[in-house]
Chain A
Amino acid sequence: MTDASTHGSLRGRRILIAKPGLDGHDVGAKVIALALRDAGADVIYTGLRKSPGYIARVAVDEDVDAVGLSILSGSHKELVEEIVEQLKALGARQVPIFVGGTIPEADLPELDRLGVKGVFTSAMKLDDVVAAVTEALV
């Protein structure tokens, strides 16, 4: 259960949680998906090993309001860049992108430049993650 401040804060929102690349550690993605769902969101989880093209296509087809990418292999810069390009190529509407996983602090400016709205690490509280997503969707 989320606390009172985020409870139901994402009702009616559609959020895609995706695992790009080959990394198979999916528990973080699933925990975030469960937390977003507890906050009322309609969550679509892709499962493992999805290509940037596939993820962009699902984001467009499902008309999602936000995209969360979970990457723990260290390939976040390459993968995020490609997904952003693919979304543009498909003419997707501008939706906030979030990244979760093992992301060194030194890479934050680069992800920011690519348009990433927030980077979440495992040390963050789920309520804080939900609050950040809620705020980006206002």
Chain B
Amino acid sequence: MSATPRPRDPGSHVPSGIEVPVVVTREMSGGDPGAPGVYPFTRGIFADGFRGRYWTMRQYSGFGTAEESNQRYRFLLGQGQTGLSVALDLPTQIGLDPSDPMARPEIGKVGVSLSNLSEMEILFDGIDLGAISTSFTINGTAAIIYAMYLACADKLGVARERLTGTIQNDILKEYVARGTWIFPVRPSMRLIADSILYSNRVTPRFNPISIAGAHARDAGCTAAEEIAYTLANGLAYVDELRRRGGDADHFARRLSFFFYVHMDLFEEVAKFRAARRIWARAMRERYGIIDPKAQMFRFGVVCGGSSLVAPQPYNNAIRVSIETMAAVMGGAQSIFTCAYDEPFQIPTEFSAELALRTQQIIAYESGIGRTVDPLGGSYYVEWLTDRMEEKIEGIMREVEEYGGAVAAIEDGWMQLRVARRAHQRKLDIDSGATPVVGLNCFTRDDQAQAPGEVFALDPQASTRVLEKLAAIRDRRDNAAVEHSLAKLAEAAVKDDENLLPYLVDCCHAYATVGEIVQRLKQLWGEFREPVRL
């Protein structure tokens, strides 16, 4: 492809569209942002920042069969890692059994296949669930996978209250950007509220939701839109939890968020500072929450994604290190760094290690985490935090005027906004208005595309998954399966019943994810995707 000329200077606007003055003076930079650890938490939720505790370095893995993933997890735990992050394959994510014809080509492809409890027993064989924290990237079937985790702990004799970990469990952004929805919006919201309220009671140390803006951002929306849509979705969950009888002072302590960090360093820092303030204020002013722990905006991030490009791929490692610095200075609680080869392949062991080392160098060598909110008081950062706050609140008002996040998503309005923004972003990169080194400027005719090795999946993996599924269907008590599914269906028609105990029973009986989802689809139907362009 042809390179476009590089811009003459850094330009006047941050990507969210805010015009930045050449110089920001003390007079322009607004008031005192307050102290960290104190409402509205602009400077961070902890008074002591990273002193005493670094952020969590959590890398994403999981592939093929439960046996292969189990081996990988045991290796990682042996290396001193204390948290596992489980990636699930697409059939598990959208509630299809491996035996479904639509599922077959995708078994074990983007994560591990977990169709029923017997697979999870293999996945965690020899691992003490009471001693590790497990994060599941799961949404459409999150309540079922969480129920399966409880059933698995029961089987292994681990007390439920000892379990720690996270399920993503954020269905609203699935309709907007990630696409693993199953049911219509409203019954999905119920399932999420049920799992959060049940988890608060039964597994008090478990995070039952991670409200994510990362996917809409990576799809193309701006940093301001990312925060605005996500906080709007967060408010929709709070409303639903309250509708189902939850106590906001209690459940809001367990809400957490997840975002992307892209390349505009100060905009990223300002976005997190603004988000903490807006969320704390919403908790206090909308819902009357006074407990500071329930006003705190906790978040994890992923660095990389669509800010990384395939041409001159090693440049991506530099991008990820700048983004990681933004995440640290923005006060993230947990950071995942993408590997430089992610734009074109499943990361290799080499590239995954380099990504982790990037975080470790920033944590242990750079010293940027030594003092809380090191950019606080910078004329520019305080000014930009205020402008981002205005911008985010303006977009949140648009969502509210539309009737709130649920209505905006049911209608496809949010989806349309993200698609159009993505199109504009692509045109700006194509024209060179948004410079990307190695892609639209400083290109070489002979530049390498994809270096190095390619990670190969075992082609026999899906056959083994199918054999195991057939075996469990033979071995289990099918009358008990049917009984548990019938009980679930009975409870599902009553709006005041929490479905989680029924889901745990289904999992104990070795009902499959596909069977459970099928039963609920019969009652609730499926989401009808509004296709608007």
A interface with B by C-beta (< 8 Å): 1, 21-27, 30-31, 33-35, 37, 43, 45-49, 51, 73-75, 78-79, 102, 104-106, 121-128
Q: Return the CB mask of B448-473 against A: 1 if under 8 Å, else 0.
A: 01100010010000000000000000
Given A22-B91, A104-B450, A123-B311, do A27 and B1 touch, yes or no (CB 8 Å)? no
Residue in B181, B418, B449, B531 whose Cβ sees the most chain A Cβ within 10 Å:
B531
In the assembled complex, which residues on chain B have CB atoms less than 8 Å from the CB atom of A122? 306, 309-310, 343
Stretch at the interface among B104-112, B315-323, B396-404: B104-112
B103 on the A face (CB < 8 A): yes
Verify A75–B430 contact, CB threshold 8 A.
no
Question: 12 pairs across A/B with beta carbons < 8 Å?
Answer: A21-B105, A30-B422, A30-B533, A31-B422, A49-B94, A49-B102, A51-B102, A74-B457, A75-B105, A122-B309, A123-B309, A123-B311
Verify B179–A34 contact, CB threshold 8 A.
no
With A and B bound together, what is the CA distance between A93 and B423 in angstroms? 31
Main secondary structure of the interface of A (DSSP, over half): loop
Verify B109–A126 contact, CB threshold 8 A.
no
With contacts defined as CB atoms under 8 Å apart, how many contacts are there between chain A and chain B in the complex?
A: 108
Given contacts A26-B179, A121-B344, 6 further A-B pairs with CB under 8 A are A22-B93, A25-B219, A27-B419, A31-B422, A78-B105, A126-B430
Verify A126–B106 contact, CB threshold 8 A.
no
Given A1-B427, A102-B344, A105-B450, do A33 and B533 touch, yes or no (CB 8 Å)? yes
Q: Return the CB mask of B80-119 against A: 1 if under 8 Å, else 0.
A: 0000000000110110100001110110011000000000
In the assembled complex, which residues on chain A have CB atoms less than 8 Å from the CB atom of B531? 45-47
Verify A104–B96 contact, CB threshold 8 A.
no
In the assembled complex, which residues on chain A have CB atoms less than 8 Å from the CB atom of B346? 74
Given A27-B422, A45-B531, A48-B179, do A73 and B430 touch, yes or no (CB 8 Å)? no
With A and B bound together, what is the CA distance between A128 and B109 in angstroms? 30
Please tell me the size bucket of the interface on B: 35 or more
Closest approach, in angstroms, between the C-beta of A126 and any C-beta of chain B? 6
Partner of A104, one of B106, B419, B454: B454
With A and B bound together, what is the CA distance between A99 and B91 in angstroms? 22
With A and B bound together, what is the CA distance between A78 and B345 in angstroms? 18
With A and B bound together, what is the CA distance between A45 and B530 in angstroms? 11
Main secondary structure of the interface of B (DSSP, over half): loop
Closest approach, in angstroms, between the C-beta of B359 and any C-beta of chain A? 24
Residue of B with least CB distance to A33 = B533
Given A22-B90, A74-B109, A75-B105, do A34 and B177 touch, yes or no (CB 8 Å)? no
In the assembled complex, which residues on chain B have CB atoms less than 8 Å from the CB atom of A25? 177-179, 219
Q: Return the CB mask of B429-441 against A: 1 if under 8 Å, else 0.
A: 0100000000100
In the assembled complex, which residues on chain A have CB atoms less than 8 Å from the CB atom of B243? none
B interface with A by C-beta (< 8 Å): 1, 90-91, 93-94, 96, 101-103, 105-106, 109-110, 174, 177-181, 219-220, 306, 309-311, 343-346, 418-420, 422-423, 426-427, 430, 439, 449-450, 454, 457, 529, 531, 533
Verify B178–A24 contact, CB threshold 8 A.
yes
With A and B bound together, what is the CA distance between A46 and B533 in angstroms? 11
Residue of B with least CB distance to A37 = B533
In the assembled complex, which residues on chain A have CB atoms less than 8 Å from the CB atom of B94? 22, 24, 49
Given A24-B180, A34-B423, do A104 and B110 touch, yes or no (CB 8 Å)? no
Task: Please list the 3 inter-chain residue pairs (A to B) with the smallest Cβ-Cβ separation, ordered nearest first.
Answer: A24-B179, A22-B90, A27-B219
Partner of A125, one of B1, B109, B345: B1
Partner of A24, one of B174, B309, B426: B174
With A and B bound together, what is the CA distance between A105 and B103 in angstroms? 25
In the assembled complex, which residues on chain A have CB atoms less than 8 Å from the CB atom of B90? 21-24, 73
Verify A75–B219 contact, CB threshold 8 A.
no
In the assembled complex, which residues on chain B have CB atoms less than 8 Å from the CB atom of A48? 179, 529
Verify B310–A121 contact, CB threshold 8 A.
yes
Verify A104–B344 contact, CB threshold 8 A.
yes
Verify B177–A73 contact, CB threshold 8 A.
no
Verify A22–B1 contact, CB threshold 8 A.
no
With A and B bound together, what is the CA distance between A97 and B219 in angstroms? 24
With A and B bound together, what is the CA distance between A21 and B100 in angstroms? 12
Verify B105–A34 contact, CB threshold 8 A.
no
Partner of B102, one of A22, A74, A104, A105: A22
With A and B bound together, what is the CA distance between A123 and B439 in angstroms? 7
With A and B bound together, what is the CA distance between A73 and B108 in angstroms? 11
Given A51-B102, A106-B454, do A75 and B109 touch, yes or no (CB 8 Å)? yes
With A and B bound together, what is the CA distance between A106 and B427 in angstroms? 28
Closest approach, in angstroms, between the C-beta of B168 and any C-beta of chain A? 13
